[in-house]
Amino acid sequence: MIVVIHLSSFYDQAAVPDDVKVTPKDVASGRVKPGKFGGYTTRVTRKMETHSTVTIDERSLVQRLVFEVIPRPGLRKLGPCNRKQLVAEFLDGNLLPEVAHPKHITGFEVENDQGPDEKLARETLAQFVAAEHHLTGEPLIDPAQLEAIIAKYLEPYSHDDHVDHLHARFGVAKKAS
């Protein structure tokens, strides 16, 4: 699946000049990244109408599903979720921090969505039904929940539904086509 994110500004990396002091706090916070030959680069926001092309591997969405359905106390989880939600969560939680601030998004396009991969989802989730929690010994995913998780992942939706969901999730007005 290809998601094209239209942007009014975007994150880029710029080399930090020698006369700029970089503190340990800057390093610890991830504000700077190590440069090639000992210096640093830092994230800058460049103002420009552009777009980011994101090629999402279905395995990434299934892995995000695994993350959402394994219970972990203290962490916000969606639980069973459909693919529209998985795409939005993956973009927001895993990818956008390197691409752009959500407020810079001006629109979404979705192309070449081949739909869910039931075989991949079943094979992947089965590993976590079989695997045991390191303390309790219970399955990481409750076998009784498996079919409900799969059914939610396979939930049908239209192309327009998907695009609308992304616009709604990121609070972006959809442009009239």
Helix (H, G, I), strand (E, B) or coil at 151: helix
Distances (CA, A) of 123 to 56, 62, 119, 140, 153: 19, 10, 6, 15, 14
Interacting span for another protein (CB under 8 A) from 72-80, 149-157, 164-172: 72-80
Phi, psi for 49 (deg, rounded to 5) = -70, 120
For residue 55, state whether it binds another protein (rule: CB under 8 A).
yes
Tokens 């969901």: give the residue. 165
Q: Are 62 and 121 in contact (CB under 8 A)?
A: yes
Q: How many residues bind another protein (CB under 8 A)?
A: 56
The answer to whether 154 touches 116, Cβ cutoff 8 Å, is: yes
Which part of the chain contacts another protein (CB under 8 A), choosing from 47-55, 142-150, 151-159, 167-175? 47-55
Examine residue 132 and tell whether it contacts another protein (CB under 8 A). Answer: yes
Q: Does 92 bind another protein (CB under 8 A)?
A: no
Among the listed residues 36, 144, 158, 173, the single contact to another protein using CB under 8 A: 36
Tokens of 120: 């991949």
Counting contacts by CB under 8 A, is residue 174 touching another protein? no
Q: Which of 20, 22, 23, 27 binds another protein (CB under 8 A)?
A: 27
Q: Is residue 20 involved in binding another protein (CB under 8 A)?
A: no
By CB atoms closer than 10 A (0-12, 13-18, 19+), residue 119 is exposed
Residue 25 binding another protein, by CB under 8 A: no
Q: Which of 1, 110, 149, 163 binds another protein (CB under 8 A)?
A: 1
| Exposure letters 82-102 (e unless 16+ CB within 10 A, then b) | bbbbbbbbbbeeebbeebbee
Which chain residues interact with another protein by CB under 8 A?
A: 1, 7, 10-13, 27-28, 30, 32-37, 41, 46, 48, 50-60, 63-64, 66-67, 70, 72, 74-75, 90, 94-95, 98-100, 114, 117, 120, 123-124, 127-128, 130-134, 140
